[in-house]
Amino acid sequence: MIRWRLILIIGVPILIGCNEVIPTNPDYISDGFDYPVGKPNAKGYYDAQPFGKNNHLGSDLNGNGGGNTDLNDPVFAISNGFVKSAKKLKGGWGNVIRIIHELPNGKQYESIYAHLDKILIKPNTFVKKGQIIGTIGTNNGQYLAHLHFEIRSFTNMGIGGGYSWFTMGYLNPTSFIKAHRKVKK
């Protein structure tokens, strides 16, 4: 079952995403969120292109050493969740993992991890917070090594282009993680 979310903009309905019924497993309900690099607090990393800068819809997390010094560094699941997909996408995305996180109250969020060198998990499986899910990459040399990371308040939105003035459904990853280190039960 899918619960669709429609919004009206200037009288026109637009489908922006939906929350999906994912397999139920009480051991994988989210209990809090950490950063996807420099476990658990992004130690050794900085946000080279924060959410909103140049209409960026995520955060570009880079190692403090710059260049490709963070190539193949581990990427961690930010919270318990269900791996919706883990595959190579066309264009500037490269290897991408999408994880759906369900809170105790049933609210769902989706985390997106892009430009990965390696994917170390399989789709349609569960992950635990802090589990290594992949490694930082360059999208086959298209970029200097970094992790493009997004958090979305609607699951199953189209992958998009990573930049837009229209930010409905996209959350500032740093603000979200700081506000949700522990989830109220």
Q: Does residue 9 carry a pLDDT above 50?
A: no
Q: Does residue 14 carry a pLDDT above 70?
A: no
The distance in angstroms from the start CA to the end CA of the chain is 25
Whole-number mean pLDDT of the chain? 88
Closest to 78 (Cα-Cα) out of 22, 37, 108, 125? 37
- What pLDDT score does 86 carry? 97
Q: Name, in order, each residue with C-beta under 8 angstroms of 98's C-beta and a sequence gap of 6 or more.
A: 83, 84, 85, 86, 110, 111, 112
- What pLDDT score does 99 carry? 97
pLDDT band at 20 (very low <50, low <70, confident <90, very high): low
- What pLDDT score does 12 carry? 46
Residue 169 identity (one-letter amino acid): G
- What pLDDT score does 58 carry? 94
Mean pLDDT of 173-182: 95
- What pLDDT score does 18 carry? 57
Q: Does residue 22 carry a pLDDT above 80?
A: no
Residue 68 identity (one-letter amino acid): N
- What pLDDT score does 62 carry? 96
Of 123 and 106, more confident: 123
Mean pLDDT of 38-63: 92
- What pLDDT score does 185 carry? 66
pLDDT in tens, 158-168: 888 887 888 88
- What pLDDT score does 4 carry? 44
pLDDT > 90 fraction of the chain, expressed in percent and rounded? 64
Q: Name, in order, each residue with C-beta under 8 angstroms of 119's C-beta and a sequence gap of 6 or more.
A: 86, 87, 95, 97, 133, 134
| DSSP codes, 145-165 | SBEEEEEESSSS-----SB-S
- What pLDDT score does 1 carry? 41
pLDDT in tens, 107-136: 999 999 999 999 999 999 999 999 999 999
